[in-house]
Amino acid sequence: MDTRKLYEFNVDERMEIYALIKSADVRVAKNGNQYLALVMTDTSGEMPGMVWEATPEMVATFKAGEVVVMQAVRQVYQGKPQLKILHIGLPDLAADVDPDDFVASAPMRKKEMEEEVTQLLFQITNPNWNRIVRYLLQKHADTFYAYPAAKKNHHAFNGGLAYHTISIARLATSVAAQYEQVDRSLLYAGALLHDLGKTVELSGPVGTTYTTSGNLIGHIVLIDEEIVLAAHELNIDLHAEDMLLLRHVVLAHHGLLEYGSPVRPMVLEANILHQLDELDASIQMIDTVLEHTEPGQFSERVFGLDGRMMYRKNAENK
């Protein structure tokens, strides 16, 4: 068994590795036979491959979420990597394979993220905001540290939601240090809550889709609902200025009505949160796309970056 990962093999090289089936479509070839269109993945990325002449048993066995043993050759199809699968099978029962080991995760461990969030909570000095944020983070603790931040655009990995939240909070700390007029409590409270509705909007970390609530209500109103109920539960006046501000900062974080915010940012901290959200998301997207771009080349056009191509430099000057 090779110890290298999917993307560590070169074109035309043969591999025998464990990999996770990310998705498995059953299709019918022109000769009428069924075949499997698989997407194989490990932490180095994902790559498609076909299994021709799939028997009903194979269709039943090789499903999304399964870890398999695979013999394959890396090839190129229309400029993109793909696998020519020579053999696919289930691992030995003795083999210690855990699907979670094959999924990309945030570059911080959950424990570290929790500690950083705790430090941030100490800096939210407005007692109502502090209580609301603590209440909601505790309520969604399981999902907040496990979910991705999006279905595919950015931070689409395990723990991506918490990691994206922390990245924004760090940027917020820098901005608050530089501009003294910023209300840190409001900015941090808004940063911690802004995407928490995604724990309801998305189905979970694996095979992420939108839930019915996610489609019909959307994560922005879903987190507002949570804030409303939390305030009710904690006996906090929803129409006092501090609660209007917290809700506004969260509601306005997409910046423009066209992007789904029902109001545009009308307080300084809402404006900043929106811009830091865009900044962190775009840095993460650029990072991801450049990982699979050769030095000196331009990437494909990236939907989440308004269709821009990104350039990977030949030389770094850091």
Site for a copy of itself in 135-154 (CB under 8 A): none
Evaluate whether 36 touches 59 at the Cβ level (below 8 Å): yes
Q: How far apart are CA 239 and CA 233, in angstroms?
A: 15
Among 3, 138, 181, 235, binds a copy of itself (CB under 8 A): 181
Residues in region 19-38 near a copy of itself by CB under 8 A: 25-32
Residues in region 238-297 near a copy of itself by CB under 8 A: 238-239, 241-242, 244-245, 247-248, 251, 257-268, 271-272, 275-276, 278-279, 282-283, 286-287, 290, 296
Q: How far apart are CA 204 and CA 143, in angstroms?
A: 8
The DSSP symbol for 55 reads -
Question: Which of 110-142 are b and which e, b meaning 16 or more Cβ less than 10 Å from the residue's Cβ?
Answer: beebbebbeebbebbebebbbbbbbbbbebbee
Q: In sequence order, which ranges of the chain are alpha helices (DSSP H)?
A: 56-61, 110-122, 127-139, 141-144, 160-178, 184-193, 198-201, 212-216, 219-233, 241-251, 268-291
Q: How far is CA 50 from the centre of its chain?
A: 27
Interface mask toward a copy of itself for 184-203; x: CB under 8 A: xxx-----------------
Tokens found for residue 147: 């979910």
- State which residue, 98 or 258, has the beta carbon closest to a copy of itself: 258
Closest approach, Cβ 93 to a copy of itself, in A, equals 31
Among 61, 134, 170, 208, binds a copy of itself (CB under 8 A): 170
Q: How far apart are CA 310 and CA 312, in angstroms?
A: 7
Closest approach, Cβ 250 to a copy of itself, in A, equals 10
Q: Does 204 bind a copy of itself (CB under 8 A)?
A: no
Closest approach, Cβ 317 to a copy of itself, in A, equals 4
Tell me the window of 55-63, 114-122, 137-145, 168-176 that interacts with a copy of itself (CB under 8 A).
Answer: 168-176
- Say how many residues touch a copy of itself, by CB under 8 A: 93
Coil, strand or helix at 11? coil
Tell me the window of 13-21, 132-140, 146-154, 171-179 that interacts with a copy of itself (CB under 8 A).
Answer: 171-179
Evaluate whether 126 touches 185 at the Cβ level (below 8 Å): yes
Residues in region 205-224 near a copy of itself by CB under 8 A: 212-213, 215-218, 220-221, 224
Q: How far apart are CA 264 and CA 273, in angstroms?
A: 12
DSSP count for the chain of H helices, then E strands: 11, 5
Residues in region 61-120 near a copy of itself by CB under 8 A: 75-78, 82, 84
Q: How far apart are CA 249 and CA 132, in angstroms?
A: 14
Among 3, 138, 178, 235, binds a copy of itself (CB under 8 A): 178
Q: Does 48 bind a copy of itself (CB under 8 A)?
A: no
- State which residue, 28 or 94, has the beta carbon closest to a copy of itself: 28
Nearest Cα residue to 158 out of 208, 122, 104, 199:
104
Nearest Cα residue to 123 out of 174, 185, 178, 186:
185
Q: Which residues contact 204 (CB under 8 A, 6 or more apart)?
A: 143, 146, 147
Closest approach, Cβ 62 to a copy of itself, in A, equals 18
- State which residue, 90 or 283, has the beta carbon closest to a copy of itself: 283
- State which residue, 13 or 100, has the beta carbon closest to a copy of itself: 13
- State which residue, 15 or 220, has the beta carbon closest to a copy of itself: 220
- State which residue, 17 or 243, has the beta carbon closest to a copy of itself: 243
Among 175, 203, 208, 304, binds a copy of itself (CB under 8 A): 175
